[in-house]
Amino acid sequence: MIRQCFALLLLLATLPALAESRIHEFKLDNGLKIVVQEDHRSPVVVSQVWYRAGSVDEFNGTTGVAHVLEHMMFKGTRKVPSGEFSRIVAAAGGRENAFTSRDYTVYFQQLEKSRLELSFRLEADRMVNLNFSDADFAKEIQVVMEERRWRTEDKPQAQVGEQMMSAVFASHPYRHPVIGWMNDLEHMTAKDAREWYRRWYAPNNATLVVVGDVDPKQVYRLAKKYFGPLKAQKLPPRKPQQEPDQKGERRLVVKAPAKLPYVALAYQAPSLRGVDDWEPYALEILAGVLDGHAASRLNRDLVRRDRIAVEVSAGYDAVNRGPALFEFDVTPSEGYTVEDVEVAIRGQIEQLKEEGISEEELQRVKAQVIAADVYQRDSMFYQAMQIGMLESTPGLSWRMLDSFTQRLHAVTAEQVREVARKYLVDDRLTVAVLDPQPIDENAPKPKEIRSDRH
């Protein structure tokens, strides 16, 4: 989710609706946590079930199984046959979907507020009663493999990103793609998916987030009715997965059919681990200085003034179960090379380290970071996303939302320069370059395979 996630957290922290008086937390005896946020602006409710299980938890040889299981969750239970889940929600006038990330898997519905009970009934059922056949799995794994071809193997920049993650992380499971390596998908079995389901899908490994025009006490009563009877289970222990210190700059070249070259730079950086952790806030401001708005330094200098880049971006995502990255993506203009734009990026970094930023620029960037994507403050879905993301990350909580603005405003110009000097250094850097190859116009197009999962 996701370079903008932290910026969204900061934005949403400014809203009165996020005051603790409007957010209510409950917990069932089986360990299911329930977080309810009231938002009475329209008669709509968003319901999300967050499982603390993502690709970071996968075993070697089964990469992609978390995402595959997400697909299988639409294959039905004894009460709800395959394909009926989505039909039932649509018939109720709602919409639903799911996504898998490195850190968690999320299932969600948006419905008219009186239909919240339907969402709970369906989600509680498939939390423990999922029932898919080997034939269902054999069909759906083909869908997932085609999805991998379409999203990664046929997208040159996606190939660069995938290969870069494998180089950035020597041992941490973030090095594996969420969708999985093709070889693992080709050899995956229905048993692998069922074992993943039995291992992680339980009420005591989930958070139910509800945002909308609801009465929190009524939400709790409905959750207790449908999720309360489900039994907790013993969860596998999670061992620390610390990435070894990087010992020097890493480089790789990816050759793929493409029209333009492209370069990505990734610096290893810390994730947010608590409310008193100031460095992630300074890194977010640093990202805003470089690429937080139309007049930011990279766009101003590389795209508009020097015209050596067609596109350039910088981003930092603080909320992760594992390590974070501070990243740059650049597409050089015609007549310029990836070497030219890399030198330009490095020049911007060194200038910031040496000269820092003025107080005027600092205050302007702070205001712009908070105001970024301001239209999303009206989205119940994104409000639920921020709560779920924090609740699914060890050491964090939705209660931190009120402190984000304060912590952001506390960042000083010297702290911004300090994190640049500390983290944007060669010993933390991985550079991935796309070397464009001729495009075969006669190459077969990916075929469409129908799936219950959309």
pLDDT of residue 451: 63
Contact criterion met (CB below 8 Å) for 28 and 390 = no
Phi, psi (deg, nearest 5) at residue 9: -60, -45
Phi, psi (deg, nearest 5) at residue 59: -90, 155
What's the rounded mean pLDDT across residues 323-351? Answer: 97
Q: What is the pLDDT of residues 134-172, one digit of tens each?
A: 999 999 999 999 999 999 999 999 999 999 999 999 999
- Residue 319: pLDDT over 60: yes
Share of the chain above pLDDT 70, in %: 91
Residue from 219, 230, 14 nearest 130 by CA: 230
* Neighbour-count burial for 209-225, b at 16+ CB within 10 Å, e otherwise: bbbbbbebeebbebbbe
pLDDT of residue 86: 95
pLDDT of residue 432: 98
- The DSSP secondary-structure symbol of 149 reads I
H-helix or E-strand spanning residue 402: helix 401-409
Contact criterion met (CB below 8 Å) for 163 and 254 = yes
pLDDT of residue 223: 98
- Residue 96: pLDDT over 90: yes
Q: How many Cβ atoms are within 10 Å of 454's Cβ, its own excluded? A: 10
Residue 154 CA to residue 295 CA, distance in Å, equals 33
What's the rounded mean pLDDT across residues 206-221? Answer: 98
pLDDT of residue 401: 84
Residue 289 CA to residue 287 CA, distance in Å, equals 5
Q: How many Cβ atoms are within 10 Å of 21's Cβ, its own excluded? A: 9
- Residue 123: pLDDT over 50: yes
CA dihedral 176, 182, 186, 189 (to 10 degrees): 20
Burial class (CB within 10 angstroms; exposed 0-12, middle 13-18, buried 19+) of 293: middle
**CA angle in degrees (0–180, nearest 5) for 344-349-351:** 90
Task: Compute CA distances 142 → 58, 145, 146, 149, 449, whole Å.
Answer: 20, 5, 6, 11, 8
Q: What is the pLDDT of residues 414-454, one digit of tens each?
A: 999 999 999 999 999 999 999 999 988 776 665 655 566 65
Residue 108 CA to residue 308 CA, distance in Å, equals 43
Contact criterion met (CB below 8 Å) for 103 and 393 = yes
Taking all residues of the chain, what is their mean pLDDT, rounded to a whole number?
A: 91
pLDDT band at 17 (very low <50, low <70, confident <90, very high): very low
Residue from 207, 271, 277, 195 nearest 236 by CA: 195
Residues with a known catalytic role: 70
pLDDT band at 274 (very low <50, low <70, confident <90, very high): confident
Q: What is the pLDDT of residues 194-213, one digit of tens each?
A: 999 999 999 999 999 999 99
Residue from 7, 13, 18 nearest 372 by CA: 7
Residue 118 CA to residue 317 CA, distance in Å, equals 34
The pair of three-digit structure tokens given for residue 79, joined into one six-digit string: 């009460």
- The DSSP secondary-structure symbol of 324 reads E
Residue 63 CA to residue 279 CA, distance in Å, equals 32
pLDDT of residue 70: 98
pLDDT band at 305 (very low <50, low <70, confident <90, very high): very high
Contact criterion met (CB below 8 Å) for 127 and 227 = yes
The pair of three-digit structure tokens given for residue 293, joined into one six-digit string: 């708005």
Among 104-113, 132-141, 263-272, 367-376, whose mean pLDDT is lowest?
367-376
pLDDT of residue 454: 54
Among 216-220, 251-255, 402-406, whose mean pLDDT is lowest?
402-406
Contact criterion met (CB below 8 Å) for 207 and 394 = no
Residue 46 CA to residue 378 CA, distance in Å, equals 13
Q: Strand ranges (DSSP E) for 133-248? A: 206-212
Residue 448 CA to residue 442 CA, distance in Å, equals 18
Residue 324 CA to residue 268 CA, distance in Å, equals 6
- Residue 229: pLDDT over 90: yes
What's the rounded mean pLDDT across residues 54-76? Answer: 97
With 0.75 as the threshold, say if the pTM is over it: yes
pLDDT of residue 379: 87
- Look at residue 49 and give its three-state secondary structure: strand
Residue 448 CA to residue 436 CA, distance in Å, equals 26
H-type alpha helices, 36-155? 65-72, 84-91, 116-128, 134-148
- Residue 73: pLDDT over 70: yes
Residue 253 CA to residue 428 CA, distance in Å, equals 18
Per residue, the 3-state secondary structure of 13-26, as one string, reads CCCHHHCHHHEEEE
Residue 318 CA to residue 390 CA, distance in Å, equals 11
pLDDT of residue 370: 72
- Residue 111: pLDDT over 60: yes
